[in-house]
Chain A
Amino acid sequence: MERARSVTKKIGKIEFSLLSPNEIRKMSATKVITADTYDDDGFPIAMGLMDPRLGVIEPGLRCKTCGQRVGKDKCPGHFGHIDLAMPVIHVGLIKTIRNCLRSTCRECGHLLLTDKQREEYFKELKRYNQEGRNTTYLLKQVIKDCVKAEKCTRCGREVGKIELDKPTSLRENGKKLTPSEVREWLEKIPDEALPLLDINKKSARPEWMILTVLPVPSVAVRPSVTLQSGERSEDDLTHKLVDVIRINQRLQENRDAGAPQLIVEDLWELLQYHITTYLDNQTSGIPPARHRSGRPLKTLAQRLKGKEGRFRSNLSGKRVNFSARTVISPDPNLSINELGVPIRMAEELTVPVKVTSHNIDWCKQMIKQKYLGSDDHAEYIPGVNYVVRETDGMRRRIKVTEKNAEDVAEKLEIGSSIERQLMNGDIALFNRQPSLHRMSMMAHRVKVVPDKTFRFNLCVCPPYNADFDGDEMNLHLIQGEEAKAEAEILMKVQENILSPRFGGAIIGGIHDHISGCFLLTHKDRKIPLDDASHILAAINYDGKNFKTFTEDGKKYISGKDVFSTLLPKSLNLEYKAKACFNCDTCQAPNCPHNAYVIVKNGVLKQGIIDENGIGAFKGKILDRIIRDHGMDAGREFIDNFTKLAIASITLFGFTTSIDDEDIPDEAKKQIAEGIGKALKKISGLVKAYEAGELESLPGRSLEETLEMEIMKVTGKTRDMAGEIAGSHLGMDNSAVMMAKSGARGSMLNLSQMSGCVGQQAVRGERISRGYQYRTLPHFKRGDLGASAKGFVASCYKSGLSPTEYFFHSMGGREGLVDTAVRTSRSGYMQRRLINALEDVKVENDGTVRHAGGQIIQFIYGEDGIDPTRSMGGNAVDIDRIISDVKEGV
């Protein structure tokens, strides 16, 4: 059974070609002649659009062509056909038809080229094809040359000028060509000429582009729906086909009855319209066919086109079973590899398990255990939802209920399979949209939890770009063993800690993890022994005893030693912490701010652990541990330091409030003075400008110069206010701690809160729009001063004046608009990039090639190094190798 299923047929290639009228007739199950669908009793009319020979849609009914039903044996549906009374042009191919007419002779059908030209073009074409080059340009040239010809070289007929009236009518020298005439012409074109017209003679003939027979798609393509009222509602395509048949019939009758030419032509044109809209209802130049309700019909082209079309929505993206979606919430107690799945989901989602002689007892137990009753009600017991038995090719799916559980378990045979509920330890894919990079979909180990949300470790937020303000995420269960193994090896969270974008960790500490480590390691913190034990209990520390020191009769442990418990013994590392002040002269090893981190033999000797040590994107320690000790060690390190950090931050306590932004009155005065000076300077500039004394910068107008100068001054003013405010906010301030350690916020945020908000800008300029000659009616016309143009001198804490508030909102609005525009633009750019590069891969010989085999690079990235494994872009870490060699490791 299993074997038979594993050897499936593989599609090797797909060939595209035009259908010839003969082929259409040959594959047709029936000719369709009546425009009606069902008779009064609700039965489909024979040779109507719903003829049962075209396939069936109701379950249970048998198709009259193949005798199969729709559900189980899958009758795929069969084509029918409509014989058109008069030929009609295919809209999509009208340009090709025009080109054919333009480059051939109406009399003899030969190309309008001299023999020499033709020979040359054939030679050229052959060469192009041999070299695998794109022939579009060459073939365009052929048509251009043909149009130049005045007389046919063979029969000497004068060449008429062919014009195309959009969408479907052609004229020769101003005289209209009927589709029949066009078809006659196209029939004359010999096969030898076709390659130069960009037509493959094996797959198409020019005259096939004029329709004489219209294929009718099967009922399965255009199912009718029965409304609740019992009324039938037909598909758009059926509606359109009804129109086509009706007009076709009338045309036939009129023509046969010998009606006047005018009437026949009108009907012919109407038929052309209906077939055109049947193929594409958005053809420019003709009104779209509408439903009775006024909605434009969705015909063949519309079904394929665009984002909601067949290609992008059903073929490139597919809906799946065994998936779930709900709100996410954080859980610091889970490992980064784990994912909390709500019980209600776990009971619905299943994983198939094949019953073998090795696991049959276990399977029986699984079926029964859910209903055995347990003492602990909170405990989750996975059960089995379905048992699938396969006998003689018949698949039977039995739902397991409380009643039949026992029975089903007893009857379980080897060879059938059970669909068991989700269990702890199952592997599942977790995803958040927009899925911008491969880390947006990672494999987690399932842990079934109560309540109704997905739960995961906070460190995994950055790769998913998730937060918990109501975000929802998706879960996909893996159904096969190979897939499970693959996900385990390639997609697990711990395998994705390093980002291929820049070769650094993308998963690492955030927010409180950084604050916690900062608190633990800054300023030689000493922790009483019992507190330290408490912190270390969070990571189940069972190592050796600590170096303690006694002060005032109490035993203490240094915070750095506590952190060092996480580090592997072989770790040696020196780097600058985030808290580095970037002093003019760096006193590297003896940093007065404790910002130079030294780790020796796994012991943190000095320095603060902050964002540059353990943070996502930047963590240096994290990076080193992963490279030296592998992903497992990296995961363990992340799991442990988060727990340690959270334990310490809860123990020490950490809070920020509005008084963190308090600055002394003296500082406020200083800032006010500074702002006063700046305002004076600006008014001076404005005065100079008005007096015409301002000297313009090279290549700038006076106005631009003034604006630039003022922007410079306002920028400096904000920096000044920030500096003053910052100097009064010490390192013992929680908000400053967060900003300096990189946990959250920046010094700019702080200076805006307690110093000065600064200049508001729209489109990179001071605010200038609003009323005539002024931004708001609160100012004089033509006022160019600071406050009239959006300078906010207040700080957030003291509050903004009404005009300031208004300007601030203007700046804020711009930001929102910007984000909205940006997401769509960058989304489209990424779609284009992906489409252009999706087939590019590294071959076994190290070259980088397209799917077609064209070489893009002889060696990937000029050195063949995987960016994920590179050291921040470098192939090898020479510093390390040399220091290793020096030490003789």
Chain B
Amino acid sequence: MPKKSVSAKDKKEEKKTKKQVTEKPDESPIKKTPKSKIEKEEKKKSSETSKKTVKKSVKKKEKKVKKKSTVEEISERKKEIVLPKKIEESKERREIRSDINKILKDKSLSLYIIDDIITRVTEDKKLKTKLKDIISKTLAEYEKNFIDPAEACGIIGAQSIGEPGTQMTMRTFHYAGVAEINVTLGLPRLIEIVDARSIPSTPMMNIYLLDEYKLSADLAKDVANQIEITNLNDVADIEADLTNLTILIKPDTKTMKRKGSKIDDLLESIKKIKKIDAKIEKKKIKITLDEPSYKKLLNVNESLKDLKVKGIDGIKRIIIRKEPEEGYVIYSEGSNLDKVLEIEGVDPYRTTTNDIQAVGRVLGIEAARNIIIQEAYNTLMEQGLNVDKRHIMLVSDVMTSNGTIKAIGRHGVSGEKSSVLSRAAFEITVNHLLDASRRGELDTLGGVAENIIVGQPVNLGTGAVELVMKRSKKKGK
């Protein structure tokens, strides 16, 4: 099972530390470090034509720019961000790694396989002598299991995610980790992810804390108080005095203390309301209106009730739990990623939200891609449905391939297809045809739907290759 942390953050951290290779032994395939990507690209270079490389570099540039800007933003906002401890690879592991690389020479293996082998070899020293044997066998099997060219991996992926949909539940259940927070799960959640909704129906966050905060209950509580939204109504009684046209606010000392706020803070936030005057009188706050009017008083009274005195917009409820091997973790109902990351004590590298668009906004497209994979995978796994991660990766990559998060459907991926016939065959048929004729669009019949429509073999699988038997002249006879 993958860890909860978002790999995008790992990536970013690595960007900063100039390709410091951090190795985690149990890295799952999805948690790819940029190094592996670079490696892959290098491998590709030889086989790629010049045209493709041009395209690729454009894409790469875009991504880089995007990432840099978000990194800068965050580091500007919080200069003193503490980098998580770099996991220095032990000398032994490094030695084995270099050995393996020597054996591999120009061939390549996926990083996580190499890591796996290293872990095994460190566990059992006897294997060191047989490293060559292991690598050659692994390579052989790796190559055997390689995907075939022209494989219709898109359709297979879509089927693999769609087919178990019929077996999923419709209801929302309690979240497996925290009983108190309801989270949309099952089919509705999967549809939500695929739709790339701007706000999930049940937003929530897992807020991880930095070292000293996660160990102390008080400090964790402190952070939680800064995050959870507190309304004036929650910490004080509001009384409207209709005869004098004043409002009296009596803070409840007990809850005030629990929430860690002071009367001055209340005054501060009350003063943000326009056209009123507020003063502290005997541990109470007295509010008078600039222009006394009965109607206005009631209006002010109403707005006071919902007045935010503390916390972050959108975070409705907070639950602090002590997790084994982690310490205190804050779970929140409601989500506001960028604001929460600014809070001191919050670990910005591991804190996650289920709001995909917010992740895309704050952390960039690569992070969004990873959160889509993670959310979709967890939704499926939670239902006990086993789906290979590669399928989900493909869906996620299709959604994020041009730098923005596109929905699967007529407003996103399907609506932006290059083929007119394919779009017309999906939805809003007539408009697509009319627009196409106005624009003089050209359908080059490269895809599946178009070729079926015109009655030609589809350019996938066995249809992608053309084999013509050469009729040689009859020999002899």
Query: What is A's interface to B at a CB cutoff of 8 Å?
Result: 10-18, 92-93, 96, 131, 134, 198-200, 202-204, 209, 280, 301, 304-306, 309, 311-312, 315-316, 318, 436-438, 486, 490, 500-504, 697-700, 708, 763-764, 818, 821-823, 825-827, 829-830, 832-848, 850-867, 869-870, 873, 875-878, 881-882, 884-886
The one of A304, A838, A848 that contacts B155, using a Cβ cutoff of 8 Å? A838
The one of B138, B441, B445 that contacts A878, using a Cβ cutoff of 8 Å? B138
Q: Quick check: A862 and B180 within 8 Å, CB to CB?
A: no
> Is B9 interfacial (CB-CB < 8 Å)?
no
Q: Quick check: B429 and A860 within 8 Å, CB to CB?
A: no
Report Cα–Cα, A818/B188, bound state, in Å: 12
How close is B441's CB to chain A, nearest CB, in angstroms?
5
> Is B475 interfacial (CB-CB < 8 Å)?
no
> Is B456 interfacial (CB-CB < 8 Å)?
yes
Q: Chain A interface mostly helix, strand, loop or mixed?
A: loop
Name the A residues within 8 Å of B58 (CB-CB).
131
Report Cα–Cα, A867/B298, bound state, in Å: 65
Q: Quick check: B409 and A858 within 8 Å, CB to CB?
A: no
**What residue in chain A is nearest B172 (Cβ atoms)?**
A764
Tell me the B21-64 residues at the A interface (CB within 8 Å). 29-30, 32, 36-37, 40-41, 43-44, 47-48, 52, 55-56, 58-59
How close is B68's CB to chain A, nearest CB, in angstroms?
20
How close is A16's CB to chain B, nearest CB, in angstroms?
4
Q: Quick check: A878 and B116 within 8 Å, CB to CB?
A: yes
Name the A residues within 8 Å of B44 (CB-CB).
845-847, 858-859
**What residue in chain B is nearest A834 (Cβ atoms)?**
B158
Name the B residues within 8 Å of A847 (CB-CB).
44, 48, 52
The one of B170, B187, B416 that contacts A134, using a Cβ cutoff of 8 Å? B416
How close is A437's CB to chain B, nearest CB, in angstroms?
4
Q: Quick check: A869 and B145 within 8 Å, CB to CB?
A: yes
User: Which stretch, B265-273, B284-292, B384-392, touches the partner chain A?
Assistant: B384-392
Report Cα–Cα, A832/B318, bound state, in Å: 36
How close is A218's CB to chain B, nearest CB, in angstroms?
19
Name the A residues within 8 Å of B316 (CB-CB).
699
**What residue in chain A is nearest B426 (Cβ atoms)?**
A835
Report Cα–Cα, A316/B163, bound state, in Å: 21
Interface residue tally for chain B (C-beta within 8 Å): 130
Tell me the B300-346 residues at the A interface (CB within 8 Å). 316-319, 333
Name the B residues within 8 Å of A305 (CB-CB).
429-430
The one of B48, B409, B445 that contacts A12, using a Cβ cutoff of 8 Å? B445
Name the A residues within 8 Å of B387 (CB-CB).
501-502
Interface string of B367-394 (1 = CB under 8 A from A): 0000000000000000000111111011
> Is B78 interfacial (CB-CB < 8 Å)?
no
Name the B residues within 8 Å of A500 (CB-CB).
156, 160, 388
Q: Quick check: B138 and A316 within 8 Å, CB to CB?
A: no
Report Cα–Cα, A886/B408, bound state, in Å: 48
Report Cα–Cα, A850/B447, bound state, in Å: 8
Q: Quick check: B153 and A833 within 8 Å, CB to CB?
A: no
**What residue in chain B is nearest A305 (Cβ atoms)?**
B429
> Is B72 interfacial (CB-CB < 8 Å)?
no
Q: Quick check: B398 and A876 within 8 Å, CB to CB?
A: no
Report Cα–Cα, A198/B456, bound state, in Å: 31
Name the B residues within 8 Å of A875 (CB-CB).
29, 110, 113, 142, 145
Extra 20 A-B pairs, beta carbons < 8 Å, given A16-B440, A490-B462: A15-B441, A16-B433, A92-B431, A311-B429, A436-B166, A437-B159, A764-B172, A822-B165, A822-B169, A833-B157, A835-B422, A839-B419, A846-B149, A847-B48, A848-B154, A852-B418, A860-B153, A875-B142, A875-B145, A881-B134
Report Cα–Cα, A748/B116, bound state, in Å: 39
> Is B133 interfacial (CB-CB < 8 Å)?
yes
How close is A872's CB to chain B, nearest CB, in angstroms?
8
The one of A12, A865, A884 that contacts B147, using a Cβ cutoff of 8 Å? A865
> Is B395 interfacial (CB-CB < 8 Å)?
yes
> Is B130 interfacial (CB-CB < 8 Å)?
yes
Name the B residues within 8 Å of A829 (CB-CB).
162, 165, 187, 190-191, 194
Name the B residues within 8 Å of A700 (CB-CB).
180
Report Cα–Cα, A15/B452, bound state, in Å: 17
Report Cα–Cα, A134/B439, bound state, in Å: 13
Q: Quick check: A867 and B172 within 8 Å, CB to CB?
A: no
Report Cα–Cα, A503/B391, bound state, in Å: 12
Report Cα–Cα, A399/B58, bound state, in Å: 64
Q: Quick check: A204 and B440 within 8 Å, CB to CB?
A: yes
> Is B448 interfacial (CB-CB < 8 Å)?
yes
Name the B residues within 8 Å of A199 (CB-CB).
438-439
Q: Quick check: A885 and B133 within 8 Å, CB to CB?
A: yes
The one of A14, A93, A825 that contacts B434, using a Cβ cutoff of 8 Å? A93
Report Cα–Cα, A304/B445, bound state, in Å: 20
Interface string of B166-204 (1 = CB under 8 A from A): 101111110000011000000110110010000000000
Q: Quick check: A836 and B409 within 8 Å, CB to CB?
A: yes
Q: Quick check: B154 and A14 within 8 Å, CB to CB?
A: no
> Is B82 interfacial (CB-CB < 8 Å)?
no
Name the B residues within 8 Å of A841 (CB-CB).
150-154, 459-461, 464
Name the A residues within 8 Å of B461 (CB-CB).
490, 841
Q: Quick check: B170 and A821 within 8 Å, CB to CB?
A: yes
Q: Quick check: A876 and B194 within 8 Å, CB to CB?
A: no
Q: Quick check: B120 and A882 within 8 Å, CB to CB?
A: yes
How close is A825's CB to chain B, nearest CB, in angstroms?
6
> Is B207 interfacial (CB-CB < 8 Å)?
no
> Is B436 interfacial (CB-CB < 8 Å)?
yes
Q: Quick check: A866 and B430 within 8 Å, CB to CB?
A: no
Q: Quick check: A504 and B459 within 8 Å, CB to CB?
A: no
**What residue in chain B is nearest A872 (Cβ atoms)?**
B386
Q: Quick check: A311 and B164 within 8 Å, CB to CB?
A: no
Name the B residues within 8 Å of A835 (CB-CB).
414, 422, 426, 449
Name the B residues within 8 Å of A13 (CB-CB).
442-445
